Amino acid sequence: MLTRRAVFGAPALLLAQKTAPERLNVLFVASDDLNNSLGCYGHPLVKTPNIDKLARSGVRFDRAYCQFPLCGPSRTSLLSGLRPDTTTILANQIAIRDRVPDVVTLPQLFRNNGWRSVRAGKMYHMDVPAGVGTNNFDDEQSWDLAVSPKGAEQRTAGDRKTLGKGWQVISFAGDGKDQADDRATELALETIDKTAGQPWFIGLGYLRPHLPGVAPSRFFDLYPLDKIPAPYNPANDRDDIPRASEIAINTRANDMGMNETERREAIRAYYACISYMDWQLGRVLDHLDKTNQRRKTAVVFWGDHGWHLGEHHRWHKRSLFEESARAPLIVSAPGMRGNGKASKALVEFVDIYPTVAELGGLRAPDRLEGQSMTPLLHNPSRRWKKAAFTQMYTPEEKIVGRAVVTDRHRYIRWDGPYPGEELFDHATDPREFTNLSADPKHAALKARMAAILDAGWRAARPD
pLDDT at 252: 82
pLDDT per residue as tens digits for the range 269-327: 999 999 999 999 999 999 999 999 999 999 999 999 999 999 999 999 999 999 999 99
pLDDT at 234: 96
CB 116 within 8 A of CB 201: yes
Poorest-pLDDT segment among 46-55, 170-179, 246-255: 246-255
Residues with Cβ within 8 Å of residue 460, at least 6 apart in sequence: 385, 386, 387, 388, 389, 452
pLDDT at 196: 83
Measured distance CA(386)–CA(371) in Å, rounded: 13
Measured distance CA(290)–CA(284) in Å, rounded: 10
Per-residue pLDDT band at 7 (split at 50, 70, 90): very low
Going 352 to 354 to 359 to 362, the CA torsion angle's sign is positive
pLDDT per residue as tens digits for the range 315-371: 999 999 999 999 999 999 999 999 999 999 999 999 999 999 999 999 999 999 999
Measured distance CA(219)–CA(271) in Å, rounded: 8
Task: Please say if the pLDDT value at position 6 is more than 70.
Answer: no
In a domain? residue 216: yes
pLDDT at 15: 35
Mean confidence (pLDDT) of the chain: 94
In a domain? residue 110: yes
pLDDT at 20: 52
pLDDT at 218: 98
pLDDT per residue as tens digits for the range 97-142: 999 999 999 999 999 999 999 999 999 999 999 999 999 999 999 9
Rounded mean pLDDT of 237-254? 90
Q: How many domains does the chain have?
A: 1
The residues annotated with a catalytic role in the active site are 71, 125
Task: Please say if the pLDDT value at position 3 is more than 70.
Answer: no
Greater model confidence, 165 or 250: 165
Per-residue pLDDT band at 16 (split at 50, 70, 90): very low
Measured distance CA(32)–CA(314) in Å, rounded: 18
Rounded mean pLDDT of 388-392? 98
pLDDT at 5: 33
How many residues make up the chain in this entry?
463
Task: Please say if the pLDDT value at position 1 is more than 90.
Answer: no
In a domain? residue 240: yes
Rounded mean pLDDT of 410-439? 98
The Cα-based distances of 241 to 238, 248, 395, 424 in angstroms read 5, 12, 20, 11
Going 246 to 127 to 308 to 323, the CA torsion angle's sign is negative
Closest by CA position to 100, among listed 124, 112, 82: 82
In a domain? residue 329: yes
Task: Please say if the pLDDT value at position 8 is more than 80.
Answer: no
Measured distance CA(302)–CA(380) in Å, rounded: 18
Which structural domain, as residue segments, surrounds residue 45? 23-386
Task: Please say if the pLDDT value at position 409 is more than 90.
Answer: yes
Burial 276-302 (b: 16+ CB within 10 A, else e): bbbbbbbebbebbeeeebbeebbbbbb
Q: Which residues pair with 391 in a beta bridge?
A: 402
Task: Please say if the pLDDT value at position 4 is more than 50.
Answer: no
In a domain? residue 417: no
Closest by CA position to 127, among listed 137, 119, 113: 137
Report the CATH number at residue 107.
Answer: 3.40.720.10
In a domain? residue 395: no
pLDDT per residue as tens digits for the range 207-240: 999 999 999 999 999 999 999 999 999 999 999 9
Measured distance CA(177)–CA(183) in Å, rounded: 7
Measured distance CA(275)–CA(279) in Å, rounded: 6
pLDDT at 284: 98
Residues with Cβ within 8 Å of residue 199, at least 6 apart in sequence: 23, 24, 25, 26, 114, 115, 116, 296
Q: What are phi and psi of 119, to 5 degrees?
A: -105, 130
CB 433 within 8 A of CB 233: yes
